[in-house]
Amino acid sequence: MGLCESARSPWGSSAALGAGVGVMLLGLCLAQSTAPQAACPAAASLQTLTQPQYQNITQDIGASFMAALVQSFLHTVQPKPFPGDLILQITKNPNQDVIKEVLVYEIGFLVCAAIGILYIVLMPIVGFFLACCRCCGNCGGKMYQKQTSSIHCRRRALYWSAFITTVIILAGNICMFKSNENLKVSVNQSPGQLSKTVDNINTFITAVPQQVNYVVNESYSVIQKVTSNLDAIGPQLGTAIQQQIKGVLFSALYPVRLLNQETVNISAQLTTLNSSLAQLQFSLKVLQNNLTNVRNSINATLSNPNCTGCGSKKSELQKLTLDTSINVTGLNIFQSAVDEIIKINLTSKIKEVENYYDSIPQMVTNDTKNVVQSSKQQLANIEKQVSQFVSNSALSALSNVPVKQVQTDISNITPDVERAEQIRWGVSLAICCIVLLVVICYLLGLLLGPLGLIPRADTTKRSCTADCGGIFLMMGAGFSFLFSWLFMIVVLLLFLLGGNIYTLVCQPWSNGQLLKFIDTPGLIPNFNLSQALGLKTDLSISNIYKDCEQNKPVWTTLHLYELINLDDLLNVSKYTEQIQQQFDNTNMNLSSITLLSPQVKNQLSNFSSKAISFDSTAVTQQMNNISSINLNTSAAVLENLAGTSTNSGIKKQLQDEAMALTQLQIYIETIITPQVKNLNSTIKSLASMTGGINRTVGEVLTNVGIAQDFLNTNTTQIIKIESRSFLDCQLNYFTAYADWANLTITQQVGRCQPVAGAVDSVETILCSQMVESLNAFWFSLGWCLIFFIPSIIFSIKLAKFYRRMKHSDVYENQTSNQIIMTHIPRAQMKAT
Query: Which pLDDT belongs to residue 3?
Result: 35
Instruction: Give a yes or no: residue 264 inside a domain.
Output: yes
Query: Which pLDDT belongs to residue 30?
Result: 31
φ, ψ for residue 807, nearest 5 deg: -125, 140
CA angle 205, 208, 213 (to 5 degrees): 135
Of the candidates 586, 584, 34, the residue with the CA atom closest to the CA atom of residue 363: 586
Instruction: Give a yes or no: residue 640 inside a domain.
Output: yes
| Three-state secondary-structure class, residue 100 | helix
Instruction: Tell me the pLDDT of the chain averaged across its residues.
Output: 77
Range 658-673 average pLDDT: 83
Q: Facing residues of 144 across strands?
A: 807
Residue 4 near residue 381 (C-beta atoms within 8 A): yes
Q: Is 494 left (phi over 0), alpha (psi -120 to 50) or beta?
A: alpha
Residue 118 near residue 491 (C-beta atoms within 8 A): no
Residue 242 near residue 359 (C-beta atoms within 8 A): no
Residue type, 682: T
Q: Is 345 left (phi over 0), alpha (psi -120 to 50) or beta?
A: left
pLDDT class for 670, splitting at 50, 70, 90?
Answer: confident
Give residue-wise pLDDT tens across range 258-314. Answer: 888 878 887 887 788 788 778 877 887 888 888 888 888 887 777 777 776 676 666
- Note down the domain range covering 655: 246-368+595-723
Instruction: Give a yes or no: residue 171 inside a domain.
Output: no
Lowest mean pLDDT: which of 546-560, 583-597, 703-717, 802-816?
802-816
Q: For 194-260, what is the HEC assignment?
A: HHHHHHHHHHHHHHHHHHHHHHHHHHHHHHHHHHHHHHCHHHHHHHHHHHHHHHHHHHHHHHHHHHH
Q: Please provide the DSSP assignment of 620-639 as one string.
A: HHHHHHHHT--THHHHHHHH
Measured distance CA(57)–CA(55) in Å, rounded: 6
Measured distance CA(223)–CA(636) in Å, rounded: 102
Q: Is 750 left (phi over 0), alpha (psi -120 to 50) or beta?
A: left
Measured distance CA(271)–CA(53) in Å, rounded: 86
Check residue 313 and report its DSSP letter.
G
Give residue-wise pLDDT tens across range 349-372. Answer: 888 888 888 888 888 888 777 777
Residue type, 313: K
**325: number of CA atoms within 13 Å, CB side?**
4
Measured over the CA atoms of residue 205, residue 207, residue 213 and residue 216, the dihedral's sign is negative
Give residue-wise pLDDT tens across range 96-115. Answer: 888 888 899 999 999 999 99
Residue 264 near residue 702 (C-beta atoms within 8 A): no
Q: Facing residues of 807 across strands?
A: 144
Contacts with 498 (C-beta within 8 Å, 6 or more apart), sequence order: 771, 774, 775, 778
Measured distance CA(281)–CA(661) in Å, rounded: 20
Contacts with 675 (C-beta within 8 Å, 6 or more apart), sequence order: 276, 279, 280, 283
Query: Which pLDDT belongs to residue 324?
Result: 63
- Identify the residue with better confidence: 782 or 201: 782
Instruction: Give a yes or no: residue 290 inside a domain.
Output: yes
Give residue-wise pLDDT tens across range 311-348. Answer: 666 666 666 666 666 666 567 777 777 887 787 788 88
- Identify the residue with better confidence: 465 or 588: 465
Residue 373 has pLDDT above 80, yes or no: no
Measured distance CA(565)–CA(183) in Å, rounded: 52
Q: Kind and range of the H or E element at 706?
A: helix 693-747
Query: Which pLDDT belongs to residue 823?
Result: 47
Measured distance CA(273)–CA(357) in Å, rounded: 39
pLDDT class for 492, splitting at 50, 70, 90?
Answer: very high
Check residue 807 and report its DSSP letter.
B
Instruction: Give a yes or no: residue 653 inside a domain.
Output: yes
Quick one: CA torsion of 535, 541, 545, 546, rounded to 10 degrees?
-70
Instruction: Give a yes or no: residue 797 inside a domain.
Output: no
The number of folded domains in the chain is 1
Give residue-wise pLDDT tens across range 241-254. Answer: 878 887 888 888 88
Residue 422 has pLDDT above 80, yes or no: yes
| Three-state secondary-structure class, residue 144 | strand
CA distances from residue 436 to 65, 158, 466, 698 in whole angstroms, order as listed: 20, 21, 22, 121
Give residue-wise pLDDT tens across range 674-718. Answer: 888 887 777 777 777 776 777 888 888 888 888 888 888 887 778
Of the candidates 490, 477, 499, 480, the residue with the CA atom closest to the CA atom of residue 427: 490
Give residue-wise pLDDT tens across range 15-67. Answer: 333 333 333 333 333 333 333 334 455 555 667 777 777 777 666 555 567 88
Query: Which pLDDT belongs to residue 829?
Result: 43
Range 1-7 average pLDDT: 35
Lowest mean pLDDT: which of 339-343, 382-386, 438-442, 803-807?
382-386
CA angle 760, 766, 770 (to 5 degrees): 135
Residue type, 354: E
- Identify the residue with better confidence: 137 or 465: 465
CA distances from residue 702 to 249, 261, 601, 610, 801 in whole angstroms, order as listed: 12, 18, 11, 19, 137
Q: Kind and range of the H or E element at 152?
A: helix 151-231
Measured distance CA(63)–CA(776) in Å, rounded: 8
- Identify the residue with better confidence: 15 or 432: 432
Instruction: Give a yes or no: residue 102 inside a domain.
Output: no
Query: Which pLDDT belongs to residue 96?
Result: 85
Contacts with 788 (C-beta within 8 Å, 6 or more apart), sequence order: 169, 438, 480, 484
Range 525-533 average pLDDT: 67
Residue type, 184: K
Residue 430 has pLDDT above 90, yes or no: yes
Residue 688 near residue 261 (C-beta atoms within 8 A): no
Measured distance CA(456)–CA(678) in Å, rounded: 159
Query: Which pLDDT belongs to residue 433?
Result: 95
Residue 523 near residue 517 (C-beta atoms within 8 A): yes
Highest mean pLDDT among 396-410, 480-494, 610-624, 725-739: 480-494
Measured over the CA atoms of residue 152, residue 157, residue 161 and residue 167, the dihedral's sign is positive
Give residue-wise pLDDT tens across range 624-665. Answer: 767 667 777 778 877 887 777 777 788 888 788 888 888 888
Measured distance CA(169)–CA(790) in Å, rounded: 11
Residue 549 near residue 3 (C-beta atoms within 8 A): no
pLDDT class for 423, splitting at 50, 70, 90?
Answer: very high
